[in-house]
């Protein structure tokens, strides 16, 4: 059951219409709502997602969409506004932050300490100093995302092993993993899983009435916490194996296809 709307967005009608099987959809961003690499978003499709969220709010016969992303909070905040998130919590920086739009409060995972934040900051500086050509994604608080001007191959072959050794030598409770484009160094005890748990508790959501969309194994925590999980055609084979439905379409087209099946 969804939490009551705040005064900021008074409800037009109930959001738990019996015609909707789900109350909410947690959707990954990169590779789902927008391309993995920088480029123009398909604004017509994004507008259609926003219209879906308006319908969820005003009519209540479809589930509202919110975000669960590894992107930093400022990116997620902006994206959430564009796709019309109103009252559902937004999971960002891979669970480091949960943004509650009803109060416009950012809540960092309470298990993170100043020492963890200091480690992330120092480790980013170490990576920049140690590997010429690397650069960091801005806006992250407790994790580090390393890119390389020559692309991901050098990161995977040369930088990632050194990063893993350095983390082990420093004895920090962090882990490193390669994505399609970059290395993510994250607190080992914080993930989309812990972020989703906090978001679900905050909004008093029923997992039996949740759906999710993701394109990589970093979205598996969404799979584990929703009743229905779907992927775009561009998703990795590994996560597709866990999906209830794989859309024949890609990215935002797939999100709209999946949403059309949830009413």
CB 68, min distance to Mg ion, A: 10
By three-state DSSP, how is residue 53 classified? Answer: helix
DSSP states along 87-111: SS-EEEGGGTEEEETTTTEEEE-TT
Q: Which of 15, 22, 26, 30 binds Mg ion (CB under 5 A)?
A: 30
Q: Which is nearer to Mg ion, 186 or 215 (by Cβ)? A: 215
CB 235, min distance to Mg ion, A: 8
Q: At what angle do helices 114-130 and 160-170 cross, to 10 degrees?
A: 140
Judged by CB under 5 A, the stretch of 22-30, 83-91, 134-142, 160-168 that binds Mg ion is: 22-30
CB 125, min distance to Mg ion, A: 27
Cα dihedral 24, 25, 29, 34 sign:
negative
Q: Which is nearer to Mg ion, 34 or 53 (by Cβ)? A: 34
Task: State yes or no: residue 93 binds Mg ion (CB under 5 A).
Answer: no
Give the pair of three-digit tokens for residue 111. Answer: 């298990």
Task: State yes or no: residue 31 binds Mg ion (CB under 5 A).
Answer: yes
Bridge-based pairing state of the strands 183-187 and 174-178: antiparallel
For residue 249, which of 228, 229, 263, 235 has the smallest C-alpha distance?
Answer: 235
Q: Which is nearer to Mg ion, 30 or 77 (by Cβ)? A: 30
- Distance CA(94)–CA(176), nearest Å, equals 13
Instruction: Tell me 1's DSSP state.
Output: -
Judged by CB under 5 A, the stretch of 92-100, 109-117, 190-198, 215-223 that binds Mg ion is: 215-223
Number of residues that bind Mg ion (CB under 5 A): 4
- Residue number of the CB atom closest to Mg ion: 31
Rg from Cα positions in the chain? 18
Q: Which is nearer to Mg ion, 116 or 140 (by Cβ)? A: 140
Q: Which is nearer to Mg ion, 109 or 215 (by Cβ)? A: 215
Task: State yes or no: residue 215 binds Mg ion (CB under 5 A).
Answer: yes
Query: Which residues of this chain interact with Mg ion, rule CB under 5 A?
Result: 28, 30-31, 215
């Amino acid at each position: 059951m969804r939490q009551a709307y705040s005064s900021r967005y008074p409800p037009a009608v109930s959001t738990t219409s019996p015609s909707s099987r789900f109350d909410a959809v947690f959707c990954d961003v990169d590779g789902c709502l927008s391309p993995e690499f920088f480029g123009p978003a398909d604004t017509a499709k994004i507008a259609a997602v926003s219209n879906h969220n308006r319908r969820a709010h005003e009519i209540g016969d479809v589930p509202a969409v919110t975000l669960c992303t590894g992107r930093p909070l400022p990116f997620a905040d902006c994206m959430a506004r564009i796709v019309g998130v109103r009252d559902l919590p937004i999971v960002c920086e891979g669970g480091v932050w949960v943004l509650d739009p009803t109060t416009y409060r950012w809540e960092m995972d309470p298990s993170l300490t100043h020492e963890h934040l200091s480690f992330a900051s120092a480790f980013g500086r170490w990576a920049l100093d140690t590997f010429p050509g690397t650069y960091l994604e801005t806006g992250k608080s407790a994790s580090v995302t390393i890119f390389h001007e020559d692309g991901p191959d050098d990161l995977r072959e040369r930088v990632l092993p050194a990063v893993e050794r350095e983390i082990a030598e420093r004895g920090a409770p962090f882990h490193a993993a390669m994505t399609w484009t970059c290395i993510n160094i994250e607190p080992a005890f914080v993930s989309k899983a812990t972020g989703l748990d906090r978001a679900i508790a905050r909004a008093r959501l029923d997992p039996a009435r949740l759906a999710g969309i993701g394109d990589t194994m970093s979205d598996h925590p969404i799979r584990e916490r929703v009743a229905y999980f779907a992927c775009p055609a561009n998703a990795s084979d590994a996560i597709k194996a866990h999906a209830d439905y794989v859309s024949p379409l890609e990215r935002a087209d797939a999100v709209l296809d999946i949403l059309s099946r949830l009413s």
